[in-house]
Structure 1
Amino acid sequence: MPVYEFDGVVPVVDPTAFVHETASLIGDVIIGPGCYIGPFASLRGDFGRIVVGEGSNVQDSCVIHAFPGADAVLDPNSHVGHGAVLHGCRIGSFALIGIGVTVLDGAEIGADSLIGAGAVVTAGTVVPEGSKVLGAPAKVIGPLDEQAKAWKRNGVRIYQELARRSRESLRPVPPLSAVEPDRRRTAWSADAATPLHRKRAEGAS
């Protein structure tokens, strides 16, 4: 993985975390135990400090940064979806930051909240614990129901398993030239493969 010292400050990665070889860690970055940092994520601690708490995941192409003297903090078991941008904010435990979300300086996302895909959380916004948040600018539209909370927490667990399995089995290989007969799929439990909208539909039937 590209890891860079900046101004005498070196990133810290717990040995039980998985950081993809294309992710970039610069300067004052602290990655806790059991975390997953996905391909092409950029955690740039050249101005402020970045702390990724135990069991959290930062998925593909995310960007995390902060102003000088400020911190970007992911509390333990945070869940940050593909392509999200976090700048000088705090993400509570078991909060889910959806695909393509932007969270700006001084915003605080309460624990167990869900920020819907593409939302823009403006600077200084405080999202109460357990909220559902949508839109640009983002608005709290109500509390998150128990089914959504359980689904979201399961997603955190799955990414913790992905971190472990990636440490154990991810390795560079040459591609095959053709699809082999009876090509196997990656092996995951059924609860890893059910999006929330399908889970709700199944519950209604």
Structure 2
Amino acid sequence: MSTAERFPWATILPFEGKVPRIHETAFVAPGARIIGDVTIGPQASVWYNCVLRGDIHRIEVGARSNVQDGSVFHVEGPRPDTDGCPTIIGEDCVIGHMAVVHGCTLEDRAFVGMGAVAMDDCRIGEGAMLAAGALLSPGKKIPPREIWVGRPAKFLRTQDPAQVEKIRFQTERYCRLAERHMAELTAGQMPRGATS
């Protein structure tokens, strides 16, 4: 079964010969748009009305990571001073609703809050958090387990191991939730509360 056949409710398009690669255990929700050089890993989920556009560089979403409703992923292409910036999402990452992630890297178990913006050549370290509504300006690096807040984002504090573990809980919950949504969609039903 082709990717398009598995997710007939989403827009999955090639661009200049590059076709999205979506693992057989991943979930893509209705209204999502996935274009070009995009790889979505095992048990990862891309939720309602997200856009992942890998046209001038690549996008990778690691295993069990979730890209929540309305989020936008794009990339920075090559230019005279750089080879460009792909968007690379590690494993077990959480990207909150309406986030913008543009040409940056999230290490494993990184968290981007609702409405946050992470710009070109940024790196969010393992178990680190960019808080809801924050703006991480180009080239900034958040070290592992740190929380950054504000516009522009600045260091707030370091998370303890229990707080980092909550990110893993969120990814596990989203894996289970994706299975439930997929089951209803493949049974010919929209999830409860949705309109056709």
Q: TM-score, normalised by structure 1?
A: 0.82
1:95-134 maps to which residues of 2 (within 5 A)? 95-134=110-149
Q: 1:43 pairs with 48, 52, 57, which one?
A: 52
For residues 124 and 14 of structure 1, do their structure 2 counterparts lie closer, same or farther at Cα, with a shift above 3 Å needed?
same
Amino acid at match of 1:153: R
- The structure number with the bigger radius of gyration is 1
CA drift at 1:142: 1.8
For residues 174 and 96 of structure 1, do their structure 2 counterparts lie closer, same or farther at Cα, with a shift above 3 Å needed?
closer
Is the contact made by 1:76 and 1:93 (CA closer than 8 Å) also made in structure 2? yes
* 1:136 alignment counterpart: 151
CA drift at 1:167: 2.0
Amino acid at match of 1:134: V
Moved beyond 6 Å, runs of 4+: none
CA drift at 1:43: 0.1
Is the contact made by 2:133 and 2:150 (CA closer than 8 Å) also made in structure 1? yes
Amino acid at match of 1:50: I
Moved more, 156-165 or 18-27: 156-165
The reply on whether 1:172 has 2:185 as its aligned counterpart is no
CA drift at 1:21: 2.2
List gaps (5 residues or longer) in structure 2: 1-9, 78-83
1:55-94 maps to which residues of 2 (within 5 A)? 55-68=64-77, 69-94=84-109
Moved more, 122-131 or 167-176: 167-176
CA drift at 1:173: 4.8
Q: TM-score, normalised by structure 2?
A: 0.85
The reply on whether 1:10 has 2:27 as its aligned counterpart is no
Is the contact made by 2:35 and 2:55 (CA closer than 8 Å) also made in structure 1? yes
Once the two structures are aligned, what percentage of the paired residues are identical?
35
| Aligned residue-pair number | 176
CA drift at 1:164: 2.0
List gaps (5 residues or longer) in structure 1: 177-205
CA distance in structure 2 between the aligned counterparts of 1:107 and 1:58, rounded to whole angstroms: 18
Moved more, 29-38 or 160-169: 160-169
CA distance in structure 1 between the aligned counterparts of 2:96 and 2:73, rounded to whole angstroms: 12
Is the contact made by 1:93 and 1:112 (CA closer than 8 Å) also made in structure 2? yes
CA distance in structure 2 between the aligned counterparts of 1:84 and 1:77, rounded to whole angstroms: 17
* 2:165 alignment counterpart: 150
Is the contact made by 2:15 and 2:55 (CA closer than 8 Å) also made in structure 1? yes
The secondary structure found in structure 2 opposite 1:73 is strand
CA distance in structure 1 between the aligned counterparts of 2:147 and 2:110, rounded to whole angstroms: 10
1:21-70, CA deviations, whole angstroms, 9 ceiling, x for partnerless residues? 21000011111110110000000011110000111100000000001243
The secondary structure found in structure 1 opposite 2:181 is helix
The secondary structure found in structure 2 opposite 1:147 is helix
The secondary structure found in structure 1 opposite 2:16 is coil
Amino acid at match of 2:89: L
CA RMSD in angstroms comes to: 1.7
